[in-house]
Structure 1
Amino acid sequence: MISNQLARDLAATGVLWEPAAGDRFVIDTELLTEDVFWISDLTVEVHHYGGQSLLGFNGTTEWALDSVTLDQALWLPREDQLRGLIGNRLVSVRRTDEAWEVTFTPEPGGEERMVQDPDLECAYARAVLAL
């Protein structure tokens, strides 16, 4: 899973989140960043009110949460979502003894670049940030 800081960096560069079932996120406040939530039709649903998307918490009596706005949530994209953001610019993925290497081209026909991270999702996130 990518780190909260990498997720913040992705959001800061303009990566947009369209919440959907299966997405994971944290509530980006000091006391809740260690608790990862998943959007599911049973517990956390996406609601739309007045043109704003909210993440509604259903049946979570242990939490004093009804809903949070998307600007309070920090999306933690999965490997497949990060690969989708890279798209056809992805050249290769290779495992070394120390890390995952993701090779990509920032623009069609451009020079190949490579990023590394011990975690595959973090390596993909670093490639997205380098695009």
Structure 2
Amino acid sequence: MITVALARTLRDAGLRWHPETGDRFVIDKPEVDEDVYTVSEMTVERHDSPTGTILGFNGTTEWALDSVTASESLWLPREDQLRELLGPSFIGLTRVSVNGRIVYTVTATIAGADRSFASEVPAIAYGQALQAYIAAALE
């Protein structure tokens, strides 16, 4: 899973979230951004309205929460979602052992050049590649 900090960076770079079943998120407020929630018909349900998307907490999932707006939430995209967002710029993912540690490297074509992003967590490498891709697209 990507970090909250990387998720914020992606959001601030322009990545937009349209909540779907299975998506993970945190409430984007200090001291409550440690609990990860999953959009699901059973516990956290998406409700679309003309004023925006509301994430409703059903039953006793969270006694202190009725709902939060999508704008108060921070999407934590999964590895597969990040790979899909890279689209045709994605070249590949490699896994190597470096000094006894496993390192994953995502390679993507960004602004006409092949670039690599490495992390011990594949989703973070994908997130870093997507961040660079978005930044290059906006330049």
**TM-score for both structures, normalised by structure 2:** 0.88
SS of the residue 1:102 aligns to: strand
Tell me how far apart the structure 2 counterparts of residues 61 and 121 of structure 1 sit (CA, whole Å): 27
Unpaired stretches in structure 2, ≥5 consecutive residues: 134-139
Percent of residue pairs bearing the same amino acid type: 47
Aligned length: 129
Tell me how far apart the structure 2 counterparts of residues 60 and 49 of structure 1 sit (CA, whole Å): 23
Aligned runs of 1:79-118 on 2, under 5 Å? Answer: 79-97=79-97, 98=101, 99-107=103-111, 110-118=112-120
Tell me how far apart the structure 1 counterparts of residues 56 and 105 of structure 2 sit (CA, whole Å): 37
**TM-score for both structures, normalised by structure 1:** 0.93
Aligned runs of 1:36-55 on 2, under 5 Å? Answer: 36-55=36-55
Match of 2:4 in 1: 4
**RMSD (Å) for aligned C-alpha atoms:** 1.2
Letter of the structure 1 residue corresponding to residue 33 of structure 2 = T
Match of 2:126 in 1: 124
Match of 1:26 in 2: 26
Which runs of 4 or more aligned residues in structure 1 lie more than 3 Å from their structure 2 counterparts after TM superposition?
none
Unpaired stretches in structure 1, ≥5 consecutive residues: none
Letter of the structure 2 residue corresponding to residue 60 of structure 1 = T
More strand by share: 2
